[in-house]
């Protein structure tokens, strides 16, 4: 049994690609998340990773975000704020706290 996670890709009206995740991200499903991010990162410009509906994120998911830090734009809920801050991710990429 793996942790509940839904991933959807789409585009904003301005054409920016968006990856929307909902659920929890831990070591059991981090591979899935990594694949989704890697697949969605555009050749140029940034990928918006929308974590608004993510209730849990730990280092297994953070590693993916770190890997693509320069190519993504994060949208995260307040709940994930501390984790993103203490991990240092907020210093490498743009994070919008929803």
40 near other proteins (CB under 8 A): no
Q: Does 32 bind other proteins (CB under 8 A)?
A: no
> Is residue 38 close enough to count as binding other proteins by CB under 8 A?
no
Distances (CA, A) of 73 to 25, 28, 69, 95: 18, 24, 8, 6
**Smallest distance from the beta carbon of 14 to other proteins, in angstroms?**
31
> According to the binding rule CB under 8 A, does residue 69 interact with other proteins?
no
Residues 57/25, Cβ–Cβ less than 8 Å: yes
Quote the CA–CA distance of 17 and 4 in Å, as a whole number: 23
Is 37 a residue that touches other proteins (CB under 8 A)?
A: no
């Amino acid at each position: 049994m793996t942790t509940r996670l839904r991933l959807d890709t789409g585009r904003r009206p301005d054409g920016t690609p968006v990856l929307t995740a909902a659920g929890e991200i831990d070591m059991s499903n981090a591979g899935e998340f990594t694949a989704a991010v890697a697949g969605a990162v555009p050749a140029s410009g940034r990928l918006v990773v929308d974590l608004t509906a993510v209730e849990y994120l730990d280092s297994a998911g953070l590693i993916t975000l770190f890997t693509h830090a320069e190519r993504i734009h994060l949208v995260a809920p307040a709940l994930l704020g501390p984790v993103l801050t203490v991990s240092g991710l907020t210093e490498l990429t743009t994070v919008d706290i929803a």
